């Protein structure tokens, strides 16, 4: 990225647009944290923070596109039948990937799932809203405006790799005591997942499938009782017994995302997506970076 703010046509460079958007997204977390602490206790069962972060993500995206005289549809947010169908398709992909990884660790890594009492409907709805809000915001950040401007400035694959690294950094657990070998495997898994979601955007020029995949992946992973990026929930449908196999096979306390079996499943999905017929890649314009 060139350090000068403007290009030869006196337009703000795409690299700076991407960087400024990422900073604005980070500010959204501060806003949610500030407001979240002040919300009435009666509202907290409805996952207001997840709703707020999604609204803020859409808001800063709309502001960025407005400055360019563009619409939300230009970054892949056009809420129509096609969007809903692609969202459902992406959700099915996410569910299928997690289900395949869960079957693999149960069959080959000695993990056992034991059914527990089903959580209340209100709890399930809150979890769904929480994961959906998070998926919307993260895909707006990692596959939305900033990613697309970076791709236009530096090229599609460099942008996919850069934002894959940013996606991993955004999912580092607060407690790094999981150990560096397991954490490295988890980061590799998350990076592969980020590449897959970026390829889905490149193929469809819509954020529907990435959002759906992200949502389905997290929701089923939590429902099965596995940790989600190192975070566990007491409201799962199953209790997970990791057994005695090494953590790099079971995923350990980090969750399925730290399992070698899950990484194999995601890598197969990346390979399949890469072999599929793609739409035109995002326009490359290196001089605007």
Instruction: Return the pLDDT at 5.
Output: 58
DSSP labels, the chain: --SSSB-TTSPBPHHHHHHHHHHHHHHHHHHHHHHHTTS-GGGGGG-HHHHHHHHHHHHHHHHHHHHTT--GGGGT---SHHHHHHHHHHHHHHHHHHHHHHHHHHHHS--EEEE-PPPPHHHHHHHHHHHHHHHHHHHHHHTSHHHHHHHHHH-HHHHHHHHHHHHHHTT--S--TT-HHHHHHHHHHHHHHHHHHHHHHHHHSSSHHHHHHHHHHHHHHHHTT--BTTB--TT-SEEEE-TTS-HHHH-GGG-GGG-HHHHHHHHHHHHHHHHSPP-PPPPP-GGG-
Domain map (residue ranges) of the chain:
14-288
Mean per-residue pLDDT pooled into runs of 10, the chain (289 residues): 58 85 93 80 75 94 95 95 97 96 93 86 87 96 96 94 94 71 90 96 96 96 85 82 89 88 94 66 45
pTM: 0.89
């Amino acid at each position: 990225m060139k350090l000068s703010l403007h290009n030869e046509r006196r337009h703000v460079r795409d690299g700076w647009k991407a960087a400024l958007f990422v900073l604005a997204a980070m500010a959204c977390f501060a806003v949610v944290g500030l407001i979240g602490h002040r919300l009435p206790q009666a509202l907290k069962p409805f996952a207001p923070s997840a709703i707020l972060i999604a609204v803020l993500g859409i808001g800063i995206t709309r502001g960025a596109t407005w400055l360019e005289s563009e619409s939300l549809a230009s970054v892949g947010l056009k809420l129509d039948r096609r969007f809903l169908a692609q969202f459902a398709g992406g959700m099915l992909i996410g569910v299928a990937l997690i289900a395949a990884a869960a079957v693999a660790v149960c069959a080959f890594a000695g993990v056992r799932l034991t059914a527990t009492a089903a959580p209340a409907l209100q709890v399930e709805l809150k979890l769904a809203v929480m994961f959906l809000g998070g998926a919307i915001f993260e895909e707006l950040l990692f596959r939305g405006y900033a990613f697309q401007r970076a791709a236009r400035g530096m090229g599609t694959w460099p942008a996919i790799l850069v934002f894959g690294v940013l996606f991993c950094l955004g999912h580092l657990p607060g407690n790094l005591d999981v150990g560096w070998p397991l954490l490295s495997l988890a980061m590799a898994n998350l990076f592969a997942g980020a590449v897959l979601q970026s390829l889905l955007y490149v193929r469809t020029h819509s954020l529907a499938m990435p959002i759906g995949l992200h949502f389905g992946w997290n929701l089923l992973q939590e429902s099965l009782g596995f940790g989600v990026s190192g975070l566990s929930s007491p409201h799962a449908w199953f209790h997970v017994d990791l057994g005695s196999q090494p953590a790099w096979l079971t995923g350990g306390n980090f969750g399925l995302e730290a399992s070698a079996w899950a990484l194999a499943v995601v890598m197969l999905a990346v390979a399949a997506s890469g072999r599929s017929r793609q739409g035109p890649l995002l326009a490359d314009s290196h001089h605007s970076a």
